[in-house]
Amino acid sequence: MLGIPWFVWLAVAGVTSAMIGIHWDISWHKSIGRDTFWTPAHLAIQLCGVIAGITCGYLILWTTFARKSARAVVARAASVQVLGFRGPLGAFITAWGGFTMITSAPFDDWWHSAYGLDVRILSPPHAVLAIGIFGVELGTMVLVASQMNRETEPKVKARLRMMFAYVASMVLIAAMVLVLEFTGRIFLHSAIAYRIIALLAPVTLAMAPRATRMKWGSTAVAGMYTVFVLAMEWILPLFPAQPKLGPVLHEVTQFIPNGFPLLLIVPALAMDWLRPRITRWPNWRQALVMGSCFLAALLVVEWPFATFLQSEGARNWVFGSHYLEYFAGPKGYAATYRFIRYEKTTAEFVTGMAGALACGFAGSWLGLVRGEWMSHVRR
pLDDT in tens, 149-159: 988 888 989 99
Q: What is the pLDDT of residue 74?
A: 63
What pLDDT is stored for residue 169 in this prediction?
A: 96
Q: Could you tell me if 203 and 143 lie in one domain?
A: no
Confidence of residue 56 (pLDDT cuts 50, 70, 90): confident
- The reply to whether 9 and 44 lie within a common domain is yes
Sign of CA pseudo-dihedral 27, 29, 33, 34: positive
Residues 209 and 143 placed together within one structural domain of the fold: no
What pLDDT shows up at residue 122? 64
- The DSSP bridge pattern shows strands 80-82 and 85-87 to be antiparallel
pLDDT in tens, 194-232: 999 999 999 999 999 999 999 999 999 999 999 999 999
3-state secondary structure of 275: helix
pLDDT greater at residue 66 or residue 169: 169
**Of 216, 221, 183, whose CA–CA distance to 199 is shortest?**
183
> Are residues 250 and 148 located together in one domain of the fold?
no
Average pLDDT, the chain: 89
Are residues 159 and 236 part of one domain?
no
Same domain, 198 and 69: no
Number of domains the chain contains: 2
- Is the pLDDT score of 1 beyond 60? no
Q: Are residues 126 and 263 in the same domain?
A: no
Mean pLDDT of 41-51: 88
Q: What is the pLDDT of residue 114?
A: 67
The per-residue b/e assignment along 103-124, b for 16 or more CB within 10 angstroms, e otherwise, is bbbebbeebbeeeeebeebebe
Residue-wise pLDDT for 308-346, tens only, equals 999 999 999 999 999 999 888 889 899 999 999 999 999
For residue 37, the model assigns a pLDDT of: 72
What's the pLDDT score for residue 73? 64
Per-residue confidence band for 305, with pLDDT thresholds at 50, 70 and 90: very high
Structural domain for 277, as ranges? 185-379
Q: What's residue 42's pLDDT?
A: 86
Residue 5 has a pLDDT of 85
Domain shared by 279 and 140, yes or no: no
**Quick one: which of 110, 59, 107, 124 has its CA closest to 85?**
59
What is the tens place of the pLDDT at every residue in 273-303? 999 999 999 999 999 999 999 999 999 999 9
Q: What pLDDT, on a 0 to 100 scale, did the predictor assign at position 3?
A: 75
In this prediction, residue 119 has a pLDDT band, given cuts at 50, 70 and 90, of: low
Q: Are residues 207 and 160 in the same domain?
A: no
Q: What's at 34, amino acid-wise?
A: R
Residue 118, pLDDT > 60, answer no
Beta bridge partners of 254: 240
Same-domain pairing of 255 and 165: no
Last residue of a domain, one of 128, 148, 178: 178
130 and 216 in one domain? no
Percentage with pLDDT > 70 across the chain = 93
Q: How far apart are CA 132 and CA 122, in angstroms?
A: 13
203 shares a domain with 338: yes
Mind giving me the DSSP string for 295-341?
HHHHHHHHHHHHHHHTSGGG-STTT-TT---TT--TTSHHHHT----
Cα–Cα distance for residue pair 327/252, rounded to 1 Å: 10
Which of 178, 196, 227 represents a domain boundary (last residue)?
A: 178
Choice between 36 and 128, residue whose per-residue pLDDT is larger: 128
pLDDT category at 350 given cuts 50, 70, 90 is very high
Domain end residue (candidates: 178, 194, 209): 178
